[in-house]
Chain A
Amino acid sequence: MSHDDRIDEATLTVLMDARQPFAYLALGPTIELGRRQGLEVNWLPASVSPLRPPPEIEGNDRSVAHRRNRSRMIAREIAVYAEAQGLTLREYYREGGWSALAQGILFVREQAPVALEAFLQATFAAYWAVELDPEDVGAVAKFVGGHGADAAAFVEWASNDGPAVADRIADSLRTRGLSGAPAYLVAGEYFQGRQHQPMIEWLLEGQEGPGPI
């Protein structure tokens, strides 16, 4: 398996971190975008900082109050837009890594690419239902096996080459200055956030007509 990042040859690369609520909110619309455009999305795992809960400190300090306002509005945004998509997200502020799931994405991407989007949807849903520990290779292997890839081979790979491959992809993203999730690379441009999908489609369609603003 080559496990290249394929960024240079892909028409659309999408960076995802299962632990980022906005990545989950972006997943379904991004899959639909890829289908509308008839292209194979180059999905890659990326690690971003976890969502920060509202500060518990009370008081009038402007900086603390700003973070509190921001955190509360973000939480409302997640809840409202998740409901609109019929998604369930619990415990927004969980911490911890997701190395096993990130490797699972890379593994399924190579072994069963046609099932990768279904794998992303299933694992992200399980993570946000607090039913999947993304650091648990065995738990991720069940999803790998359920999506057309070899679960036992994944377990072996994750205990040998997998971590180094994931690190290499992460290094590649760092070197390119790509640090967001959800984030999109298209036509040489980098976009953070699902709100850019109209612009991404406009670029993919050859910038016909007035651009979205």
Chain B
Amino acid sequence: MSAAPLDFATLRGDARLAVYLDLKSPYAYLAIEPTRDMARNLGVDIDWRPFTLDIPSYLGSATLKKGGKKVERSERTPQQWSGVKYAYMDARRYANLTGRTVRGTVKIWDSSQAGVMFLWAKRHGPDAFDRVIDAAYPPFWNRDLDIDDPAVLECVLEEAGVPTAGFRDYLAGAGRVEHDEINAVAFASGVYGVPTYLVGDEAWFGREHLPRVAWILGGRQGPAPGVANLRFADRAPA
């Protein structure tokens, strides 16, 4: 699906802060907590949006054998492998600081159904959305969630206390259309990874830009900050 590009402010729309995420990105997983904390400190609501990464198109593809330790099939260059291995190592050390688990996935998932599930959760309100991502990310990154299976997604919704009646139809119909449209417009406008933050007329990829996102949301007070992976939980509300 192709779409006309939008400038970032138009893409953001009415939300003061829009954030794209994908279940299969460890960096999106790591970003959730500091993003929430930062937004809470500033009293800003987050418009979370699914953005399903097409990893093979830029990072090659690979499948691990059962058990997840040996590569069964790979179309990656040594440089791509090196980047992937570093990324997982980096994600793990930050995850370990908050007791989270990040196990390398055994295949490159098509996480678009999970993206549709996120949209379904959004329809039931921001609290429902929060509960769903909290119910989905930890088991997925512990290799305990088969997101290809709609029944598994329904279980996630049930665990999060989100109604499931009508979810299957939404997954195959309107939800899929909405997901694909969100992705097409975002990609055409310049979004390519997650987490991506839309704030003001700017777009930023990676949680290391949260200091700038917070600075913009806070009215650009003081000098512009540099990039940093920061903890926001213990920062005083603005």
Contact = CB atoms under 8 A, between A and B. Distances in A.
B231 A81 contact: no
Contact of B192 (A25, A66, A191, A192): A66
Contacts of B227: 81, 193-195
Contact of A63 (B33, B58, B94, B191): B58
A2 interface: no
A197 B211 CA distance: 13
17 contacts: A69-B187, A69-B192, A80-B212, A81-B227, A83-B224, A84-B225, A85-B226, A189-B93, A196-B229, A198-B231, A210-B233, A210-B234, A211-B231, A212-B97, A212-B230, A213-B94, A213-B97
Nearest to B191: A69
A141 B224 CA distance: 36
A198 B224 contact: no
8 closest cross-chain pairs (CB), A and B: A195-B208, A69-B192, A84-B224, A211-B97, A62-B57, A195-B227, A66-B58, A63-B57
A60 interface: yes
Interface string B73-100: 0000000001000100010011001100
B138 interface: no
A29 to B, nearest CB: 6
Q: Count chain A CB atoms within 10 A of each CB in B30, B93, B190, B229 and give the residue with the most.
A: B229
Contact of B34 (A70, A83, A193, A213): A213
B231 A212 contact: yes
B206 interface: yes
Nearest to A189: B93
Contacts of A77: 204, 209
Given A73-B205, A189-B93, A212 B54 contact: no
Given A65-B187, A66-B192, A73-B203, A179 B82 contact: yes
Contacts of A192: 86, 90
Contacts of A76: 202-203
A70 B224 contact: no
Interface of chain A, helix or strand or loop or mixed?
A: helix
A72 interface: yes
A213 B231 contact: yes
A30 B193 CA distance: 27
A151 to B, nearest CB: 34
Given A66-B54, A84-B224, A198-B228, 15 more contacts: A65-B187, A69-B187, A69-B191, A73-B192, A77-B204, A81-B226, A84-B225, A193-B227, A195-B227, A198-B230, A198-B231, A210-B234, A211-B231, A212-B231, A213-B231
A213 B93 CA distance: 9
Interface of B: 2, 30, 33-34, 54, 57-58, 82, 86, 90, 93-94, 97-98, 187, 190-193, 202-206, 208-209, 212, 223-231, 233-234
Contacts of B205: 73
Contacts of A51: none
Nearest to B30: A213
A67 interface: yes
B19 to A, nearest CB: 15
A195 B190 contact: no
Given A81-B227, A195-B206, A213-B231, A73 B58 contact: no
A199 interface: yes
A91 to B, nearest CB: 22
Given A67-B58, A189-B93, A210 B231 contact: yes
A26 B93 CA distance: 21
A67 B58 CA distance: 8
B87 to A, nearest CB: 10
Nearest to A197: B228
Nearest to A210: B231
A77 B208 CA distance: 12
A45 to B, nearest CB: 20
B190 A194 contact: no
A8 to B, nearest CB: 20
A195 B57 contact: no
Q: Count chain B CB atoms within 10 A of each CB in A60, A77, A192, A195 and give the residue with the most.
A: A195
B181 to A, nearest CB: 16
